[in-house]
Amino acid sequence: MSEAKKEIRVATGDRAILPEGTKLVPIYIMGKQYQVPETMTIQKAVEYAGYQFIRSCGCRGGICGACPTIYRVAGDYHLHFCLACQTVVQEDMYLTQMPFFPANRAAYEIEEVDASAETIMKLYPEVMKCVACNTCTKSCPMDIEVMEYVNAAMRGDIAKAARLSFDCIQCGLCSSRCPAQIQHFHLAQLCRRVHAKYQVPQAEHLKPRVAAINDGKFVDVLKELVGDSEDTLRELYVAREMEPQDSKGWQPEEKQFL
């Protein structure tokens, strides 16, 4: 065990304590310079600088798509695209945030469409205008093969478009950059839904269960459990048969409640 117990001063919540000697670096938030700790994410650095987000901030964990950010670093012509909550600041970065990007979405009746090239063409005819520049892929912070899914959708390979776009968080960076003005993320969502609904086999085993529930099959057993004493419930709980990890062919002995 360590001899000298360290004094414990702990950061709370999302506000970090900066130990002495932390290096500050200049960043430019929409053109204005602020000195921020070099270890911070862009999102936290902007807060450190004194901003309070009312936009461009959602999950703070890289999955909601609220914080797409575009930056350049002084002396380098390249444009960079990232999520502010997932990217550490760099000295002399010039950043702007894109809290919203307009993209029209085509409405459809999920029960009436199908998983075909025709559906895509009817709802998003502009996909045909893709010039295969790959800019969308290069700007995607989730490393999605965006151009590939657009091309798959165009060819009517909906399954591939659905699979490739699965990680899309709908941040809009791709659509902000596309010379063909394609609205990638809405198109991708359409592909995933029609793929799951019309191409993947439906869960046949679920249908009898749903019918049984709609017939009220479990109403009485559940009512009985609701009325049971804690002691009875404890007994039933302890007596549950456990489905094994490797359960191929496994059947429980007690079948009356199935």
Partner 1 sequence: MGYTPEMLDLIKKVEASRPERLERSKKGIDFEPLTLAGREEVLSKFHPDYKDDGRRDVKIGPSKGESYPDEFVDVLESKARLLVSGAELDKLTDYETDVLVIGGGGAGTAAALMAQENGCKVIVATKLRHGDANTVMAEGGIQGATQEVDSPYYHYLDVIGGGHFTNTPELVAALTNDAPLVIEWLERLGLMFDKDPDGRLRVRHGGGTSRKRMHSSGDMTGSAIMRVLRDESRNRSGDINVLEFSSAVEILKDSQGRAAGALFYNMETEEYFVIKAKATIMATGGYGRLHIQGFATTNHYGATADGLVMGYRAGVPMAFMHSTQYHPTGVAFPEQNIGLLITEKVRGLGANLLNTDAEQFVFEREPRDVESACIIRECMERGNGIITATGRVGVWLDSPMIEILEGPGAVKRELPAKHIQFMRYGIDISKVPMLVYPTLHYQNGGLTITDDSATNVSGLFAAGETTGGVHGENRLMGNSLLDITVFGRRAGTNAAAYVKNFDGEVGNVNMDHVDAYHKELAEAGVDTDRVAPLVLPNYTREEVMEKQLTTNYQGGLRA
Helix (H, G, I), strand (E, B) or coil at 62: coil
Are 107 and 62 a contacting pair, CB within 8 Å? no
Which range, of 28-36, 56-64, 102-110, 179-187, touches ligand FES by CB under 6 A? 56-64
Spatial CB neighbours of 98, under 8 Å, sequence gap ≥ 6:
56, 68, 69, 70, 172, 173, 176
Q: In whole angstroms, what is the distance from residue 222 CA to residue 201 CA?
A: 31
Give Cα separations from 12 to 9, 17, 122 (angstroms): 9, 8, 52
Amino acid at site 15: R
Tell me the closest approach of the beta carbon of residue 117 to ligand SF4, in angstroms: 16
Radius of gyration for the alpha carbons in the chain, expressed in angstroms and rounded? 27
* Of residues 160 and 184, the one with the C-beta less far from ligand FES: 184
Q: Which of 169, 190, 191, 194 binds ligand SF4 (CB under 6 A)?
A: 169
List the one residue from 24, 59, 128, 133 that touches ligand SF4 (CB under 6 A): 133
Q: Do 180 and 141 meet the contact criterion of CB atoms below 8 Å apart?
A: no
Smallest separation, CB 112 to partner 1 (Å): 11
Angle at which helix 184-194 crosses helix 146-155, to 10 degrees, equals 60
Q: Using CB under 6 A, pick the residue from 27, 85, 187, 191 that binds ligand FES.
A: 85
Taking CB under 8 A as the criterion, the residue among 120, 144, 162, 182 binding partner 1 is 162
**168 to each of 18, 186, 188, how far by Cα in Å?**
35, 10, 8
Listed ranges 59-67, 126-134, 147-155, 174-182: which one lies at the site for partner 1 (CB under 8 A): 59-67
Please select the residue that binds partner 1; options are 29, 48, 98, 146, rule is CB under 8 A. 48
* Residue 172 contact among ligand FES, ligand SF4, partner 1, none, beta carbon within 5 to 8 Å by kind: ligand SF4
For residue 132, the minimal CB distance to partner 1 (Å) is 27
In the block, tokens 């791709």 appear at: 174
- For position 27 contacting ligand FES by CB under 6 A, the verdict is no
Closer to ligand FES by CB, 113 or 144: give it: 144
Query: Who contacts 184 (Cβ-Cβ below 8 Å, separation ≥6)?
Result: 136, 146, 149, 150, 168, 174, 175, 178
Residue 178 near ligand SF4 by CB under 6 A: yes
The reply on whether position 75 binds partner 1 by CB under 8 A is no
Q: Which residues contact 237 (CB under 8 A, 6 or more apart)?
A: none
Under rule CB under 6 A, residue 99 binds ligand FES:
no
Angle of CA points 225, 227, 229, to nearest 5°: 90
Q: What mask, x for binding ligand FES by CB under 6 A, covers residues 59 to 78?
A: xx-xxxxxx-----------
Binding residues (CB under 6 A) for ligand SF4: these are 130-136, 139-140, 142, 144, 146-147, 150, 168-174, 177-180, 182, 184-185
Binding residues (CB under 6 A) for ligand FES: these are 57-60, 62-67, 83, 85
